[in-house]
Chains A and B, each alone.
Chain A
């Protein structure tokens, strides 16, 4: 079945540093989504990407839909302590396939 490989699994960074994480898939997706999950909460959508090559920003967050449609990355610039959490990528294919989630990247920010 379809699987997403998300990396890195965890990151320990200093406040102010930039962060990059990515997801790759063995198959093509038509939509890439990035979610953030705070402790004790459900995931919240950060950015949705619908077209190959699309680059979208949301504040300090930037995400891109890879041109091969098999990968996506999320960048966070100038990290702050509240960026701490788990970031999930998710992909959706055509034909009513279910949304596939990556295993998550756990981000720790040291003030």
Chain B
């Protein structure tokens, strides 16, 4: 596609449920990043992928968070047993190469945990 797409655009879930957030990067971009943006805050780095591998998972807030990327393209961020503090906008970005190339962002998924 022309840009990074994310789905769903909005997700409301109950505390304790699992959620899956999807990111479709720009075609040909090998690097993919997940960020979290809490209300009124900046961007918190969560995880990045180079191809299908995620060398640095240190940004994930807890072991309830996991992410995978298959086929070097689509990525899924999974949050298990959601908590209210997980409520935020989850942004995905992709770049041609890793880090030093400009990152292009998707519109985000707004997650609300009730």
Residues on A facing B (Cβ under 8 Å): 6, 30-31, 33, 35, 40-45, 48, 88, 92, 96-104
Contact = CB atoms under 8 A, between A and B. Distances in A.
A35 B102 CA distance: 11
Interface in B73-105: 91, 93, 98-100, 102-105
Interface of B: 4, 33, 35, 41-43, 45, 48, 56, 59, 91, 93, 98-100, 102-108
Contact of A48 (B4, B98, B102): B102
Given A98-B45, A102-B42, A41 B100 contact: no
Contacts of B104: 45
Contacts, number: 51
A98 B48 contact: yes
B105 A44 contact: yes
Contacts of A98: 33, 45, 48, 56, 59, 99
A51 to B, nearest CB: 14
B99 A40 contact: no
Nearest to B106: A42
Contact of A45 (B41, B98, B102): B102
A71 B48 CA distance: 25
Instruction: Name the residue among A88, A97, A98 with the largest chain B CB count within 10 angstroms.
Output: A98
A42 B4 contact: yes
A44 B93 CA distance: 10
B100 A31 contact: yes
A92 B106 contact: no
24 contacts: A6-B42, A40-B108, A41-B107, A41-B108, A42-B91, A42-B93, A42-B105, A42-B106, A42-B107, A42-B108, A43-B105, A44-B105, A45-B102, A45-B103, A45-B104, A88-B43, A92-B99, A96-B99, A97-B99, A99-B33, A101-B35, A103-B41, A104-B41, A104-B42
